[in-house]
Structure 1
């Protein structure tokens, strides 16, 4: 029997308005997988059944960027990917195949490393006098006077004085352009300092002869050269300092133009005069040889060099998290917005792009305002009317990366179609965790690691650590702003800078969500004040626990500023500036404190430590999943649904396998106890304790099981696990870290991983546990895939995840995908899909073909029945704790998803799959009677009275997507 889900007639998306993806497929572009390579697989994606291709960032980025998030120019399509011509060819081919194109856009920050960002380089050259000074969020008047008017650059590998004395800094020139070199890195020189160099070069020129010469022509030429060099030196030295006066945009433009003219003049002089070239080389050599002179010249720059390890406390430009090479943009400035989106809007206008995924929107000054501006620009580009205050359809499909804490709602007024799906990911993943065994799993974890802290305590400590170690500069800038506010009020002027800083840290550490959404006009999202009040209240409690070092009134004052509890007037605007800046810091602190610290310190069940999730929540109740799905169907029917992404800590099938441990506490506990002595024997005694630590050893055990390849091919397995454990340990920041790597500890980790995996006894036991867990983990993966592809929203398939995705954290999850193999597999499905093939694929599930079948069949069903999946209602179906079942209805159309869960418990390990009689007399109650087809197998069922036995539906295949015929 063949399945009757034929490939649908392609639907070509229209370039005007209202295009909404039905399903997406994420591609990770890089120089080795560019637009041309991506274009070649478009026919495969069309055959698979997705409606839109979803691309990682396409904009100019740091050379060789493996991910594209270090954008260096939003106005240029990345030449390394094929440039705008390659993108247009890619899009044209996609349209021929009926596919839309969604792109990842990065509005919050830019990559500034290596001299590749011309806007940042101009700021370093001209400081506040740069045409692009308004692009970046720089505090030009920080508390530290030595930084006034300068950008702190934490790029040195040692203290500045030692670097200077060691001769690691030197001046160089190429033509008319001068740089300060530090190993491979070059930094531009300010015009005034170039003037100093030219003066030195002029003085190094041979002095004119005092005695008459027969031929005066060379002397005249020499005088002209000297005059031109003197003129250039004087012009550059006389340029106004970038900190002098209030500079207008016209002033900045004129300054840049003058600099370009002078650079060309100097280039021409150097081209024609060997004397000047020699004098310039001599001048540079003399300055480089004189530490004091070189230091004086370096101090003339619009930046201050600093040791990277200690500069975080004083850094005065806002970054993406704590990454020095990613500078935040002031996207709230209309000029910056217009520049950054000009190319995007052009591509939207031309129908090259039909949708946008927005990265890290919580970093924006005013996300709601940004979303409105984006939709207004898209409306103009598409030539459609759109009322930002109305309730009509949005001109452009937009989803925003937003982490929602449990119970938190996406603001209804946002001009987006929903989130990128991390909330859904967490809800769905939790469905496959057996919450009844939480205490047992917790006890095993505590006994092995000795960790007695709750996840909440780890999170609090992580957020405090990030503020003190990774983001102290941002905290200091914010605190200095708060102190200046306090000076204007008699009731708050006695608060010390130290007290205010500690209050800011404490409130951020106890903040219950990533951020609030106060706007400059004082408006805010419902509940924002309550979240602030809770943070202030919890901060006071924590302060009392620590002996009450701070007067409670300082927390009340901070709370009043954050809620703008002040009379109207000039002060109100200053309060708003502070509150909005505060919001931009709580998000990064929470992200770094949770996702990049606490997630790696609390390893109870690693499948729960996922972006968008809360490791303290041990599983999702079915009724809670259903409620969230119903709300999404009503409020955000076009939100993205994710299973794996470029940012997830583990691939969806790695998590699916680890979830099985929640059903196996006794087996897992016995495994851990059995190998604990061997782990101890293989651990090294070091000054700070065992290497690996019990935490890292426990993380290793789960990782080795979760990532154990179903294919059985272990060629690079040890490499992958070792690389993961190194990253996990550095992120935990307990025994080693990115900032201060402990080479001995890290070497011990690698030795431990490779040695234990090579131990025949352990390797055999791990393989045995893998064999036990595998079919149930596979069932979890298949059920989660089917639910994601049929629930309300726009399901995304991360590249290669139509097969098993047992990846670990990046860069492991960006490994190349074997598309030729996937294409061959799809051809096989197209030629012979049906019950016979489904059984065969299930029997050989290890190769991932069965997951490809489920993905393909579900996507074909979506494409064949767009209304029921895109606009249909959501109805939960109660069939007991072992089934996630729901119906999608639209008019007479009906689709029913039947996805088993907790099947190891159901089958009691007696059978690898939950088939037939194992379901006993359980019944499915469907919304209607009639004939239904399981499009995964081609089987047809006659339903009478709205009821059908589960054993009948799942007699041959362990899940079903029933379509009413």
Structure 2
């Protein structure tokens, strides 16, 4: 089946303040901009108030806070009228739990292992913690269980509409009481309640129809309370007897006794690190992992989206967190087969997959590609000058006083995650693998502690997010290479562990333990343990790398990006061409993106920071001068009373990269500066807590955080702000202009290299965002619509003059908008070329040849030549060397951006005299 392929997508972030009707109103604008599909953030039912939609509670209901089914129908109609279709961000790995919103999770809490949905979630009912046998840990409490109970923050309540009882924590989290224990609540003081309670107490005799009988009894209780108000009053009196008196610990004894009999165990949130017995999304307690490998779970979760795919309501899916699934390939095969549309086309499928350095996407996955993090970083690295790496390392060491090798930082951060936030998952994994070991006399003496230590070292040294062994038991060569590297590194660093343990782990994790017909081991047990290991390495790497190491190693924060690597300082031109050629051959429809809801910095922030790489000496001078200006404290001052030099260095880079253009003029609006300062403080607080050096999310160090935020105020709005702005503006203006030129290059390449481009909401104009939630701020779509109308009118009148005018007034962002809409139109006119065209690198000649990135794309008789100019800082004064030129293929070529024509050998200075990019279309 040939898949549907979008021409280009536009990502929208749905929130309770931006729902289906708001998106419907944008349909004409998006069509005029030139995209083919709306790429929607999750819009199925999520926890109330969700600002992102990933905490889904029902896969088969449209989120009522976004407008429900009616709003979705209106949005779909508006999109169809505008000639647009949809791609949906779908969440198969986990569901939102906690609160009182997920009926499946609540049923599990009520009935434990007997729940019809107990198998839907990755729950270990046989925990090695005795107090959790047949219980589910619910780590929702802010304090110790007994303390919260005595304070009245856990209270029993009766719901007259459903005839059920539940303990409510903070009046927010519902913890259902198993109906078998209702008699303990109702008591025997009232004859009617005694009779009702006896019915519930007799439920075990109704096996295997206990749950059905319980629902019948609840319905009877609802009717009884409705008909006889005095029964409701008696129930409330019975509930009150169990609910104690606030501050009197002994008065809560009866409720505590009831709670201890339940299938859940409410606990302080910190206990999750050690005792959690359900798989989570990363370390987030209120996102519980789903067993999507089970047919019943898969069928339920995909019922609505499969219908929408088949009837053409949506054309494709972005699969969130594919690495969280036990069997990603099997999941994708089921999904691809399940949902062809009416024309027999397969859905467009891309996976959120972060590839390690040199790691290919699994070639046998039935997908169109990834969501494009690797391309985000390839584009960034193309703009970073590798010649400056040594200088940046030196200034970082001079400024901060230290420079640890990043690989050591990453390894220590992964161990930090395993020792704290994800310790319980490692314990569970070690226990499962120890059980396998004990089946074989040669490994039966391996203790769980020994295996845990060895696993910890292997995971800490794992070079990619995960491997992909499945129930076939046959690892790929890439998987073997990853395991070879991890095991070898673990052996070197943990010499106190018997090497035979690592040999056993290698054989288990590759499936070699059961490769023969007479292994004496359970094939299913071995492969399941190996696949559980794979589910663990991904979250540990994500938390250790993206959410810890990226906030500790601050040599050059532009490189600390999702899918990137801080040690890859610049990318050789040939490597960029090779990556594009590889994508054109194997994944021509893979998503190409420069900003997402998860990127650490906005696309134009990164492009601006990339300009710093061309100015290492000027940057060193500026950073040191600003540091002296803003940090007058003596060297022996209390370290908690001022930010450390590493955090300070990151903060200075962040300010340079994100400073709004309107603040770079001769005058600055005080309110705008204050808004910017608050945004910086929000991003800085997150960075400090993610780094986990001086403060954390669980234990905020208010003194240190306060000192760092005071530093921000001192810099931007406080007593040293005027001095700072005066000192910093000349340099920041210079970097901003160079960054804008980099953004031109980035925009043009994104829309012309192999792949399907996505535009993140609002990024058709300049986007100097920081990490979320800053990158999810409301977008001024009315302003963009007005600007687009003006741009289209100007371009229709005289394209060359319009581009020249926009380049001269680059600060307003119209240049980026003009390039975006012009190239989206070009993609529409040459759909086959951009969807499936070949890729051929073209080499410039001359002294500045490495600053020219050029390539040709062909499909049939259609072809384009794209050329961009790298490293604008080198050309600030002298421009291109006179001998640097690009030899165009035979024929006459018209620039789709300016309308100028070229042919033969073209000097780089002439080629890029308007802007640092041309997109040439062959005439005739």
Which residue pairs with 2:276 in the alignment? Answer: 315
**Aligned match of 2:300:** 339
CA distance in 2, matches of 1:117, 1:719: 35
Q: Distance in 2 between matches of 1:818 and 1:787?
A: 25
The CA deviation string for residues 765-798 of structure 1, in whole angstroms up to 9 with x for no partner, is 2222211111110011110110010000001111
Equivalent residue for 2:223, pick from 262, 268, 292: 268
Aligned residues of 2:587 and 2:755 also touching (Cα < 8 A): yes
1:297 aligns with 2:258: yes
Question: 2:74, 2:186 → 1: CA distance?
Answer: 53
What is the RMSD computed on CA atoms of the aligned residues? 1.8
Note if 1:958 corresponds to 2:922.
no
Q: Pick from 670, 683, 690: which aligns with 1:731?
A: 690
Which residue pairs with 1:774 in the alignment? 736
Aligned to 1:858: 823
Question: How far apart, in 1, do the equivalents of 2:909 and 2:87 lie?
Answer: 41
The answer to whether 1:843 aligns with 2:843 is no
Structure 1 residue corresponding to 2:408, chosen from 438, 454, 457? 457
Q: Per-residue displacement from partner, 1:578-608 (whole Å, max 9, x unpaired)? A: 0011100000000000000000000111110
Following superposition, the deviation at residue 92 of structure 1 comes to 2.7
**Pairing 1:561–2:561 present:** no
Structure 1 residue 141 corresponds to structure 2 residue 106: no
- Give the whole-Å Cα distance in 1 for the aligned partners of 2:268 and 2:31: 51
**Are 1:110 and 2:68 an aligned pair?**
no
Matched, 1:750 2:709: yes
- 1:820 pairs with 2:782: yes
Contact 1:685 1:691 in 2 (8 A): no
Q: Residue in 2 aligned with 1:647?
A: 598
Deviations 1:345-383 (A, max 9, x none): 11112211011111100000000000000011113x647
2:829 maps to 1:867: no
CA offsets 1:101-135 (integer angstroms, 9 cap, x no match): 11100110011131111111111111111111121
CA contact (8 A) 1:31 1:66 kept: yes
In the other structure, the counterpart of 2:762 is: 800
Q: 2:174 aligns with which of 184, 187, 205?
A: 187
Residue 232 of structure 2: aligned partner:
277
Q: Distance in 2 between matches of 1:830 and 1:111?
A: 44
User: Does residue 910 of structure 1 match 2:877?
Assistant: yes
The aligned runs of 1:283-682 (5 Å cut-off) are 283-289=238-244, 290-379=251-340, 382=342, 384=344, 395-544=346-495, 548=496, 550-566=497-513, 567-568=516-517, 570-681=521-632
1:861–1:80 CA distance, 2 compared to 1 (3 A): same
- How far residue 196 of structure 1 moved from its aligned partner, in angstroms, is 3.3
Structure 1 residue 319 displacement after superposition: 0.2
Counterparts of 1:241 and 1:396 in 2: how far apart (Å)? 49
Q: CA deviation at 1:845?
A: 0.5
SS in 2 for 1:792: coil
| CA separation of 1:923 and 1:481: change in aligned 2, threshold 3 A | same
Give TM-score, length-normalised by structure 1.
0.90
Q: Deviations over 1:369-428 (max 9, x none)?
A: 00000011113x6474xxxxxxxxx71110001001111011111010000000111111
Looking at structure 2, the residues matched to 131 and 643 of structure 1 have their Cα atoms a distance apart, in angstroms, of 43
Does the Cα contact within 8 Å between 2:791 and 2:814 map onto a contact in 1? no
Which residue of structure 2 lines up, in the alignment, with residue 42 of structure 1? 27
Q: Using the TM superposition, give the Cα deviation of residue 821 of structure 1 relative to its aligned residue in structure 2, in angstroms.
A: 1.2
Q: In the alignment, is residue 155 of structure 1 matched against residue 140 of structure 2?
A: yes
Does the aligned pair in 1 maintain the 2:179–2:214 contact within 8 Å? no
Q: CA deviation at 1:96?
A: 2.5
Describe the SS at the equivalent of 1:929. Answer: strand
Please identify runs of 4+ aligned residues in structure 1 that moved more than 4 A.
682-690
1:361/1:402 contact within 8 Å kept:
yes
Query: Map of 1:161-240 to 2, 5 A cutoff?
Result: 161-175=146-160, 176-192=163-179, 194-200=181-187, 203-205=188-190, 226=191, 228-240=192-204
Q: Deviations over 1:527-558 (max 9, x none)?
A: 212211211110111113xxx2x222222221
Q: How far apart are residue 919 of structure 1 and its match? A: 4.5
Name which of 864, 869, 872 aligns with 1:895.
Answer: 864
| Alignment match of 2:42 (pick from 35, 50, 57) | 57
Q: Report the Cα distance in structure 2 between the residues aligned to 1:383 and 1:293, rounded to whole angstroms.
A: 63
Kindly state the Cα deviation for residue 684 of structure 1 after the two structures are TM-superposed.
10
Q: How many residues are treated as equivalent by the alignment?
A: 893
SS of the residue corresponding to residue 270 of structure 1 reads helix
Q: Does 1:885 align with 2:849?
A: no
Match of 1:75 among 47, 60, 85: 60
- Kept in 2: contact 1:179–1:186 (CA 8 A): no
Whether 1:132 aligns to 2:87 is no
> Residues 605 and 327 from structure 1, CA distance in 2 versus in 1: closer, same or farther, beyond 3 angstroms?
same
Aligned residues of 1:362 and 1:587 also touching (Cα < 8 A): yes
Distance change in 2, residues 1:841/1:240 (3 Å): same
SS at match of 1:309: helix
Aligned residue runs from structure 1 range 779-794, under 5 A: 779-794=741-756
Describe the SS at the equivalent of 1:627.
helix
1:217 match: none
- Partners of 1:572 and 1:890 in 2: CA distance: 49
Deviation of 1:241 after TM superposition, in Å, equals 10
DSSP-derived class of the 1:659 partner: helix
CA contact (8 A) 1:683 1:690 kept: no
Give the whole-Å Cα distance in 1 for the aligned partners of 2:600 and 2:80: 33
Separation in structure 2 between the aligned mates of residue 557 and residue 477 of structure 1, nearest angstrom:
18
Partner of 1:74: helix, strand, or coil? strand
Closer, same or farther: CA 957–186 of 1 in aligned 2, 3 Å: closer
Cα distance in 2 for residues equivalent to 1:902 and 1:383: 47
CA contact (8 A) 2:141 2:268 kept: yes
Question: Separation in 1 of the partners of 2:116 and 2:28?
Answer: 45
Contact 1:887 1:897 in 2 (8 A): yes
Among 679, 690, 693, the alignment partner of 1:720 is 679
Distance (Å, rounded) in 2 between the aligned partners of 1:791 and 1:261? 62
Tell me the secondary structure at the aligned position of residue 470 of structure 1: coil
Greater relative CO, 1 or 2 (CA 8 Å, sep 6+): 1
Normalising by structure 2, we get a TM-score of 0.94
Please state how far the C-alpha of 1:715 moved relative to its aligned partner.
4.5
Match of 1:763 in 2: 725
Q: Which blocks of at least 5 consecutive residues in structure 2 are unaligned? A: 245-250, 664-671
1:880-903 Cα deviation digits (max 9, x unpaired): 111221111122222111111111
Measured in 2, the distance between the counterparts of 1:813 and 1:90 equals 24
- Which of the numbers 70, 76, 85 marks the counterpart of 1:91? 76
The 3-state SS of whatever aligns with 1:114 is coil
